[in-house]
Amino acid sequence: MKMMTDVETKGQVREFYDRVGWQEVGEGVYQNARYEDLRPVSRDYIHRCHLRVMRHLKSNGRYMLDAGSGPIQYPDYLEYSKGYDYRVCADISITALQEARKRIGENGLFVVADIANLPFAPYVFDGVVSLHTIHHLPMDEHVQAYGELERVLAPESTAVVVNGWGSPPIARFLLMPMRWTNRLQGIVRRIIGHPSPSANTGQADAAPKKKKPKGTFVRKSNAAWLKQEVGALIPLEILVWRSVSVKHLRTFVHDGWGGRGILRLLFWLEERSPHFFGEKGQYPLVVIKKLRRE
């Protein structure tokens, strides 16, 4: 099989988000929402995880960079830049930027850009966020992307990066229980004649019979790699953003199973051991601080 070049990879990611990922399937709901759990039972947990980003950003400033902004698809994401004069949205997808403009209008500046080669001068941004973006780059550009985020960060400021680990320990631990739970659910549904809940995930149902679109390029690392390859160059801290994936939530968390209580307990545990759950769970929150001008 022919390997894609870096240019071809980025072109494939751009095409996916322009044509599929950032197309609305309902008011304010995008095709890409299938990668999130939008059910009411998970809503409070998801909301509280989203707001973890704000703890590490300055509360105000001139410019905040949203690197790989997408359309700023969740209301919680809008909170990150409320104290800033401008939110600079940089994304490889023009569709994403057009949608982001609808949300923040004149408080936004919109730039088509590659996160591994940002077109900005050093020390420009009082805050930087990058959510679920670096893992769409070829693996050999991950270190460069982290370096770019640190380069454009102003002294005494912070960048927050959220990505997903590839096969983290907690996900491996939950793999067999998830398989058995899904199998048991399938048996019970067949017995009582209920349809699969996969059609009821909290998303707008624009075309229920339509085949699911194929996903895009993803390359994920792990905590050991990040500390060795990036941490050797840039001071960073790995905390938890969210320790479980959407598949875990949809398998184990249901209203009839005490789902809200389970998620309150999980959030409490994450708060008490943020480094453990950040390194061993699904989604780390990586904090990069620039203390002074080099």
User: HEC string of 145-191?
Assistant: HHHHHHHCEEEEEEEEEECCCCCCHHHHHHHHHHHHHHHHHHHHHHH
Question: Could you tell me the domains of the chain?
Answer: 6-168+211-290 (3.40.50.150)
| Nearest-angstrom CA–CA distance, 115 and 134 | 8
- Please state which of the ranges 92-96, 147-151, 196-200 shows the lowest mean pLDDT: 196-200
Angle ∠(90,91,92) on CA atoms, nearest 5:
140
| pLDDT at residue 178 in the model | 87
3-state secondary structure the chain: CCCCCHHHHHHHHHHHHHHHHCCEEECCEEHHHHHCCCCHHHHHHHHHHHHHHHHHCCCCEEEEEEECCCCCCCHHHHHHHCCEEEEEEEECCHHHHHHHHHHHHHHEEEEECECCECCCCCCCEEEEEEECCHHHCCHHHHHHHHHHHHHCEEEEEEEEEECCCCCCHHHHHHHHHHHHHHHHHHHHHHHHCCCCHHHCCCCCCCCCCCCCCCCCCCCCCCHHHHHHHHCCCCCEEEEEEECCCHHHHHHHCCHHHCHHHHHHHHHHHHHHCHHHHHHHCCEEEEEEEECCCC
| Nearest-angstrom CA–CA distance, 183 and 176 | 11
Residue 192 pLDDT level (bands cut at 50, 70, 90): confident
261-278 confidence digits (pLDDT tens): 999 999 999 999 999 999
| pLDDT at residue 183 in the model | 86
pLDDT greater at residue 185 or residue 54? 54
| pLDDT at residue 205 in the model | 45
**Would you say 49 and 71 are in contact if contact means Cβ atoms under 8 Å apart?**
no
pLDDT greater at residue 31 or residue 135? 135
129-138 confidence digits (pLDDT tens): 999 999 989 8
Does the pLDDT at position 17 exceed 90?
A: no
Does the pLDDT at position 198 exceed 80?
A: no
Mean pLDDT of 79-83: 96
**Would you say 73 and 53 are in contact if contact means Cβ atoms under 8 Å apart?**
no
**Would you say 267 and 233 are in contact if contact means Cβ atoms under 8 Å apart?**
no
Does the pLDDT at position 63 exceed 60?
A: yes
| pLDDT at residue 225 in the model | 96
Does the pLDDT at position 162 exceed 90?
A: yes
Does the pLDDT at position 287 exceed 50?
A: yes
Mean pLDDT of 181-185: 83
